[in-house]
A and B are shown apart, each in its own frame.
Chain A
Amino acid sequence: MTKRLLLGIVALLLVIAAAYASLYLAPEERTMGVIQRIFYFHVSSAWAGFSAFLICFVANLLYVWRRDQKYDWLGVSAAEVGLAFTTVVLITGPIWAHPVWGIWWTWDARLTSTFILWLLYVSYLLLRTLVEEPDRRALLSSLFGIFAFLDVPLVFGAIRWWRTQHPSPVILGGANSGLDPTMKMVFFFSAFAMHILMIFLVMERYEVEKMAGEVEVLRREVEVV
């Protein structure tokens, strides 16, 4: 409890500092102006969401291999948190796009694959509500989670492999891409803050699964007695 609370406080302080750095310390981008400051929040949320889905993927693989309930709990926790981060990406993206592109949304490869990613993890969570038997639910959702993760590299690669309305990458985008050093520093700090927040939320959500497991055991005990 104390460790989680401490991590929560650290995460809160870090995201406040990241917001301050994004809004006040980072230099203003010449073409887009102030609206480009959404970048620090939008892209770092996307990266933290990808990392949460990676945790879910690894937990799903480990569940299929070991059949330990703890991996199922971790999988669903990371999936829910990843979904929250992807929701933020899908909301902040159009808010940024509208003044710059003149449209809220277009069905290009990056935007469409991100929306499909969101739908896949909504389906992952819905699937869990449809299967009552815990072991069967864990196995089916783990197999679905492994399949769902295949979209993550597709989202990452969409702006690298195809010409899209979405801008080309400025981070990890090759020789012709790059960022001003202060912008880069602010971005990596924001991404770090978002990852700490993501880890904190996964830990909090994991606790819910752990307690739900405890409730199931206690209910069985009460029934037996």
Chain B
Amino acid sequence: MKNLDSVFAAYVIGWAVFFLFYLTVAKRTLSLRTEIDRLKNSLPRAK
């Protein structure tokens, strides 16, 4: 089928953009969760 490779490319690249975006969000969430835990742990010690 003519242009099937273009259809495939559009879907794959499109989904890759969404997946990469989700990965960056998940990475930021994980790093902030670690920071929150660290700060919460340092609070009683500071008191």
State the A residues within 8 Å of B (CB): 19, 23, 33-35, 37-38, 41-42, 45, 80-81, 84, 87-88, 91-92, 95-96, 98-99, 197, 201, 204-205, 207-208, 211-212, 214-215, 218-219, 221-222, 225
Contact = CB atoms under 8 A, between A and B. Distances in A.
A99 B36 contact: no
The A contact surface, by secondary structure, is helix
Contacts of A33: 1-3
A92 B6 CA distance: 9
Interface string B4-15: 101101110110
A34 B29 contact: no
The B contact surface, by secondary structure, is helix
Contacts, number: 91
Given A35-B6, A41-B14, A215 B43 contact: no
Nearest to B20: A84
Contacts of B46: 222, 225
Given A34-B2, A99-B6, A222-B46, A84 B28 contact: no
A214 B18 CA distance: 27
B40 to A, nearest CB: 7
Nearest to A208: B28
Given A80-B21, A95-B9, 5 more contacts: A34-B4, A38-B11, A96-B10, A214-B32, A218-B36
A218 B3 CA distance: 55
A201 to B, nearest CB: 7
A204 B33 contact: no
A81 B9 CA distance: 22
Nearest to A214: B36
